[in-house]
Structure 1
Amino acid sequence: MNNKFSDKDVELLGKKTLYQGFFKMEQYRFKHRLFDGGWSGEVTREVFERGHAVVVLPYDPVKDIVVIIEQVRIPVLGHTSTPWLFELVAGMIDPGHTSEEVAIKELKEETGLEAISLTKVNECFSSPGGTSERFDFYWAAIDSSNAEGTHGLDHEHEDIKVHLVDREQAYKMVEDGRINNASTVMGLQWLQLNYQKLIAT
């Protein structure tokens, strides 16, 4: 199954910046082709621009252990039982850096670990109805023996706790809702489907 349309089937009528701070908000005006033929009327959408990111799944295939990090996420305050979320390693891709470079850097900063190997799995848009953000998903083969403590950069106000979690227990945390952020859910679901191949290598 292939997409019927491409970029050429969108007519961009205008674009302006509504806000520029740590993040940016852009307003788009456009028309697009319709599935039943013809063109839409003018559509206006606000888009949250935060750049692109990497997500890294640190997994020890020898011990069948996942390294999960925990940190506070203020946007979810009042929307879940706690704003401290269990997550995979992640970080924004700054201009001039590749996603692989950022994956290696963030793994070290957030867990203190270095990847034995790093493999790109796929690319996903985090919430395409409202933001352009895409994350590149990697799994990192690691030795979990020295994974412990708290990590993060002081100047970025990071306070990140490392947890060693058995793979089956990590997936149970997805099933019971203790892990409730999209990239981590997706990463652990991927691991549950593919861990036997990772252990075999």
Structure 2
Amino acid sequence: MTSSTSPSRNPRVRVTDVELLSSAWYVLRRTTFDYQHADGHWTTEQRETYDRGNGATVLLYDADGGTVLLTRQFRYPVYVNDHPDGMFIETAAGLLDADDPETAIRREAEEETGVRIGSLEHVFDVYTSPGSVTERLHCYAAPYDPADRGTGGGLAEEGEDIEVLELPFPKALEMIGTGEIADAKTIMLLQWAALHGPFRPS
């Protein structure tokens, strides 16, 4: 077991076994561990964790024009869980792979939206689904100039078919309420922009 699968930072947790279940796409493990409850007694627990690596995302905004730049692409997992057509609206994002978060999101933003990011602001980090997925998502915001936009659209060799959406910021917020935007990272970043970011009340 590696330190990533059997950490020792919490004395109330003792990992006893880690079983690899799948590594066909990402890594699925089943871990057995002893856990000490608040009243002092111990129980043996099992959890499955899905490790797809960490990621980064960015909210691209034009404060002067009052717009944000989002993407729309087909997401099969949401399609099979009652999303109307699987065409999901979200901020540009991707896995870190071997890069640091800032390098990764600059790469992903240019590939998906055609925007070459200049200044970049780190907003927060979040765990996207802590009950089963190990991913930590690094969230950023960055201004863009509509005149400097490239093509975007993603990488065809990776099967990406990404539509770039330039939306008035009030419309994007409204789409959270209507359910047209249902992506967690996108909702968090839009709400940050409204409360503390470039579109906060003056």
Normalised by the size of structure 1, how large is the TM-score? 0.89
Counterpart amino acid of residue 14 in structure 2? E
| Contact persistence 1:150–1:159 (CA under 8 A) | no
Match among 174, 183, 190 for residue 188 of structure 1: 190
Match among 50, 53, 60 for residue 52 of structure 2: 50
- Match in the other structure for 1:9: 12
Structure 1 Cα separation of the partners of residues 201 and 58 of structure 2: 18
Counterpart amino acid of residue 161 in structure 1? E
> Which runs of structure 2 are paired with 1:165-180 in the superposition (5 Å)?
165-180=167-182
Structure 2 Cα separation of the partners of residues 105 and 150 of structure 1: 11
| Contact persistence 2:19–2:30 (CA under 8 A) | yes
Counterpart amino acid of residue 8 in structure 1? P
| Contact persistence 1:74–1:83 (CA under 8 A) | yes
1:92 aligns with 2:95: yes
Q: Deviations over 1:23-50 (max 9, x none)?
A: 11101101122122232x1101111111
Counterpart amino acid of residue 163 in structure 2? K
| Residue-pair matches, total | 193
Normalised by the size of structure 2, how large is the TM-score? 0.89
Structure 2 Cα separation of the partners of residues 199 and 152 of structure 1: 34
SS of 1:62's equivalent in the other structure is coil
Structure 1 Cα separation of the partners of residues 150 and 165 of structure 2: 7
Higher helix share: 1
Give ranges in structure 1 of 5+ residues lacking alignment: 1-5
Structure 2 Cα separation of the partners of residues 30 and 111 of structure 1: 43
Give ranges in structure 2 of 5+ residues lacking alignment: 1-8
Give the superposed CA RMSD.
1.9
